[in-house]
Amino acid sequence: MHLYVRVAPSADSTWNVPVSRVRIRIDRIACDGRGLCAEILPELITLDDWGFPIVSEAVVPEEIVDVAEDAVEVCPKLALWLEAVTTGGKEKG
């Protein structure tokens, strides 16, 4: 598996950090609610009544991590990112 994530949405984010388990995060301020992400990843992203995404807190299943990466990459507002899931230790993202 070749998983690489953007660790945080800030301007000084570190890209391309290899991790093993991730979840999707969203910047609700940046999101414009067109719902492209939900079309790509309906397993983990649904839309509310106003068309804004509701993002699952679940760990992204390994078999759809590539799809989650696609959802992050196509977001026109850069409002999505994948966050490393810590397991109680000092796991770095």
Supply the DSSP symbol for 11. Answer: T
In this complex, which beta carbon is closest to ligand SF4, that of residue 7 or of residue 36? 36
What single string gives the DSSP state of each residue in 34-65? --HHHHH-TTTEEE-TTS-EEE--SPPPGGGH
In this complex, which beta carbon is closest to ligand SF4, that of residue 42 or of residue 61? 42
Q: Which of 43, 77, 85, 93 binds ligand SF4 (CB under 6 A)?
A: 77
At its nearest, how many Å lie between ligand SF4 and the CB of residue 3? 20
Structure tokens at 58: 């679940």
Residue 3 touching ligand SF4 (CB under 6 A):
no
The Cα angle at residue 72 between residues 13 and 87, in degrees rounded to 5: 65
In this complex, which beta carbon is closest to ligand SF4, that of residue 33 or of residue 93? 33
Site map 30..49 versus ligand SF4, x via CB under 6 A: -xxxxxxx------------
Type of residue found at 13: S
